[in-house]
Amino acid sequence: MNNFNHYYDSEEIRRVVSVIVLNEDNVLSRIVGLFSARGYNIDSLTVAPIPQSEYSRITIVTNGDRRIIDQIVKQLNKLIPVLKVNEHQNMIEKDTVLIKFPIDQDISNIDVIARAYHGSIQNVTEDAIFVSATDSPSRVANFITVMQKFQPLEIVRSGVVAMER
């Protein structure tokens, strides 16, 4: 018999947590401040208002052992403007990436590969080719790796949004 934290599963896990918060001043800083003050990690964070409501949804990708994830959920719940915290188990996750390539790269190959990742060429200017793709976070990561050979100039990821199935 023992009750102490080393009995927790100490394996690091990745978790996607949705936080429904009141739209008010400072609310994002409360969330982010909690993570920094207590030494928790944020891998990505997205925020947008929930249509026709006074709330916003914040989607946070984090990692830690079971004890840390439990504490993250509880500590978030403690914040006054937080309505609900959902630790996703079975969800659809989407991440978007924008990549800029020099104009002299092979545009047709870029296009073919982008399509394989639910993406496409968005824009072409005198200097650059712009591609976007929206897919699961791991596939977006693969896509970025694959695209390295076309010498990307800039890569911008949106962070994850998720919805429970």
State the nearest-atom distance from the C-beta of 34 to other proteins, in Å: 8
Say if residues 140 and 133 touch (Cβ distance below 8 Å): yes
Give the Cα separation of 42 and 69 in Å (integer): 12
**Contact with other proteins (CB under 8 A) among 13, 48, 83, 156:** 83
State the nearest-atom distance from the C-beta of 67 to other proteins, in Å: 7
**Contact with other proteins (CB under 8 A) among 35, 59, 64, 70:** 70
Residue among 9, 161, 8 nearest 88 (CA) = 161
The answer to whether residue 90 forms part of the interface with other proteins (CB under 8 A) is no
Binding mask 38-67 for other proteins (x = CB under 8 A): -----------------------------x
Say if residues 64 and 40 touch (Cβ distance below 8 Å): yes
Residue among 61, 52, 48, 42 nearest 21 (CA) = 48
Cβ distance to other proteins smaller for residue 5 or 145: 5
